[in-house]
Structure 1
């Protein structure tokens, strides 16, 4: 496992699965999804409670995505975070961004033991704050 610099997770060509996406505008699942979407990133909401989030088709699970995401962004509670990390192991997805509040010890340890590349302790919205408009390029790692 390697905790990579966050810039290695930021690329406009990547597909970001935002797990825990929601239509509740007060929650970070919505804020993270919309922030990345408004900056021109390719985002896919994942939450079994919704069929659509912010006008985008929402998928019930990572396994149901039409395209394999490059980065899984977790905006979840503890029990769900562990389940999603296990789903990533089963699906051979290997880049997980643990949003603040989703960095539960057991989930992070599981990701580390599986050899995942992870980001912890950083907010993806903050790390992409210099990308204000869709036309601006993202970092190239």
Structure 2
């Protein structure tokens, strides 16, 4: 994919120029949670955001889905942004990979700070998916 440079990091400007829809997995309606603040930032900067959290029904007026499987089939997701405890990262990446296979999509898997695991990264890369490791999407977007 042309947005990659080296073996690890994408060209952020090119990446964000192509992204429209971001699913935030672990999105919270609690204003004291980092996922809430970053979701608001993404919305304010023109991204279509899909909250994914089984404990939420809506966040910022947007319907929240209990899992990535519940995202409507006609929606193309450019980035799956994982905002969960690291102990759930592997199962979340497996869920994303299975979803991507069923839907014929290739979302970028983005793990927030201290969320990545080596095994999750390996799984994603074995499937040919771009995997962004332990980076804050808001900080990276704000840096371009």
TM-score, with length taken from structure 1 = 0.81
After TM superposition, the structure 1 = structure 2 runs for residues 44-83 of structure 1, keeping only pairs within 5 Å, are 44-66=50-72, 67-83=75-91
Structure 2 vs 1, CA of residues 123 and 50 (structure 1 numbering), >3 Å: closer, same or farther?
Answer: same
Alpha-carbon distance in structure 1 between the residues aligned to 2:53 and 2:124: 20
Separation (CA, whole Å) in 2 of partners of 1:22 and 1:28: 8
Unmatched 5+ stretches in structure 1: 131-138
Deviations 1:32-86 (A, max 9, x none): 2111011111111000111111221100111111213111011111232212111
| Corresponding residue SS for 2:30 | coil
2:102 pairs with 1:96: no
The aligned counterpart of 1:37 is 43
| Aligned equivalent of 1:22 | 28
Match of 1:107 in 2: 120
Structure-2 separation of matches of 1:6 and 1:123: 12
Which structure carries more relative contact order (alpha carbon 8 Å, separation 6+)?
1
Unaligned runs of at least 5 residues, structure 2: 2-6, 101-105
Q: Secondary structure at the match of 1:50?
A: coil
Question: Cα–Cα, structure 1 residues 12 and 5, in superposed 2: closer, same or farther, change >3 Å?
Answer: closer
Higher helix share: 2
* Aligned residue number for residue 120 of structure 1: 133
Moved more, 43-52 or 87-96: 87-96
Q: Secondary structure at the match of 1:68?
A: coil
Instruction: Indicate the RMSD between aligned Cα atoms, in angstroms.
Output: 2.2
Structure 1 residue 12 displacement after superposition: 6.7
By how many angstroms is 1:13 displaced? 5.2
Q: Give the secondary structure class of the aligned counterpart of 1:11.
A: helix
